[in-house]
């Protein structure tokens, strides 16, 4: 794995207050909090849409209405757990196999992805977090997680191209955020 091979532009939907705080230096990048919801698609991390400011703004508007804003970032992916890489997805399969009996032994059911279009990704989140924790115990920490998601209806009959397909990044190591900017939207 090449630690510093790729730099991407990511967009984060947030409140105007948070965006202004980051841009004016009142909130240091190092204090950017990770999302820790049980349904986060890529596990725990700070979430960005890769090269998609409009998608970030739509999400922020759905969440924060008139207080919505978008922060542009330059992200160095570092050691990336990239779900577009078959080696990484095979690690996830192994983590699922490990996690399933753990839940059974505790008398609990595995989490499930649920909600409209399975957007509440509790199973995915649990498996990814378990996998990343397992790798960290082996002293293989990851800086970012990256995945592509087919979402939305087909763009025309007979296609597998979806209207809302996107690449999402979860930053685990805040040092990978090299800078922030206000995008032109």
| pLDDT (tens digit per residue) in 36-50 | 998 899 999 999 999
* Residue 4 clears pLDDT 80, i.e. is over it: no
Residue 3: the pLDDT is 62
In the prediction, which pLDDT does 91 show? 93
> 2: Cβ–Cβ under 8 A, 6 or more apart, which residues?
none
User: Which two tokens mark 48?
Assistant: 């960005």
Q: Which residues contact 129 (CB under 8 A, 6 or more apart)?
A: 43, 44
Q: Which of 118, 148, 115 is nearest to 42 (CA)?
A: 148
Residue 27 to residue 23: CA distance in whole angstroms: 8
Q: What is the pLDDT of residue 113?
A: 92
Q: pLDDT at position 103, please?
A: 86
48 phi, psi to nearest 5 deg:
-140, 150
Distance, CA of 84 to CA of 90 (rounded, Å): 11
State pLDDT tens for residues 111-148.
999 887 778 899 999 999 999 999 999 998 999 999 99
Q: How far apart are CA 29 and CA 180, in angstroms?
A: 8
Q: Are 149 and 169 in contact (CB under 8 A)?
A: no
pTM: 0.92
Task: Count the neighbouring beta carbons within 10 Å of the beta carbon of residue 70.
Answer: 24
Of 10-19, 131-140, 146-155, the range with the highest mean pLDDT is 10-19
pLDDT value for 2: 57
Q: What is the pLDDT of residue 115?
A: 80
CB 68 within 8 A of CB 173: no
CATH number of the 7-181 domain: 3.90.228
Is residue 29 over pLDDT 70?
Answer: yes
What are the tens digits of pLDDT across the range 52-107? 999 999 999 999 999 999 999 999 999 999 999 999 999 999 999 999 888 888 88
pLDDT at residue 172 greater than cutoff 90: yes
Written as six digits, the tokens of 129 are 């977090």
Give the integer Cα–Cα distance in Å for 125 and 112. 10
CB 1 within 8 A of CB 52: no
Task: For residue 98, give every residue at least 6 positions away whose Cβ sits within 8 Å of its Cβ, in sequence order, or none.
Answer: 130, 134
């Amino acid at each position: 794995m090449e630690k510093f091979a790729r730099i991407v532009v990511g967009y984060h939907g947030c409140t105007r207050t948070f965006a202004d705080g980051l841009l004016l230096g009142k909130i240091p990048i190092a204090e950017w909090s990770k999302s820790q919801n049980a349904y986060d698609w890529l596990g725990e991390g700070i979430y960005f849409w890769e090269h998609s400011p409009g998608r970030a703004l739509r999400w922020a508007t759905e969440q924060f209405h008139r207080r919505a804003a978008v922060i542009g970032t330059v992200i160095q992916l570092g050691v990336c757990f990239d779900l577009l890489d078959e080696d990484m997805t095979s690690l996830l399969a192994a983590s699922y196999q490990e996690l399933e009996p753990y839940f059974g032994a505790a008398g609990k059911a595995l989490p499930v992805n649920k909600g409209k279009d399975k957007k509440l990704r509790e199973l995915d989140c649990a498996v990814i977090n378990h996998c990343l924790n397992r790798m960290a115990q082996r002293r293989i920490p990851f800086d970012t997680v990256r995945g592509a998601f087919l979402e939305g209806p087909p763009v025309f009959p007979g296609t597998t191209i979806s209207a809302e397909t996107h690449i999402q990044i979860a930053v685990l190591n805040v040092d990978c955020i090299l800078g922030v900017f206000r995008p032109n939207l």
